[in-house]
Amino acid sequence: MYILFINFTKSLQDIQPVFPAHLEFIDAHIKTGKFILSGGLTGKQSGVVLANINNGDELKALLAEDPFVLEQVAEYEIIEFTPSRYHESLASLIAPL
């Protein structure tokens, strides 16, 4: 599993035209279950995604398709972790190891 921080590399003015396509990208992967949640960081011009993927190469290939990356307006900071404790209601969201 990964925590993904989306860090803007361009101004908001440059990001705005790409934002709708980026949201479509995020929504598509939420529907597949590869992304569990996403949102903007409070008080910052950046975002976060919780990705339910066990393979780093798969994740990197997937992120390379993000319009933010394709248009070079943002970069991902990738933090991998292994969930060891979670509420039982989240069990179905956690990819088997």
The CA distances from residue 91 to 8, 30, 71, 96, in Å, are 32, 16, 36, 9
CATH class of the domain comprising 2-82: alpha beta
Closest C-alpha to 95, from 80, 76, 77: 80
Residue 92: per-residue pLDDT:
80
The 10s digit of each residue's pLDDT in 52-70 is 998 999 999 999 999 999 9
Residue 87: per-residue pLDDT:
87
Residue ranges per domain, the chain? Answer: 2-82
pLDDT band, residue 97 (cuts 50/70/90):
very low
Mean pLDDT score of the chain, rounded to an integer?
A: 92
What's CA 28's distance to the chain center, in Å?
11
Q: Which residue did the predictor score with more confidence, 51 or 82? A: 51
Q: Is the pLDDT of residue 30 over 80?
A: yes
Tell me the residue ranges of DSSP E strands in the chain.
2-8, 35-40, 46-51, 74-80
Angle at 42 (CA atoms; ends 65, 17), nearest 5 degrees: 40
Q: Is the pLDDT of residue 42 over 70?
A: yes
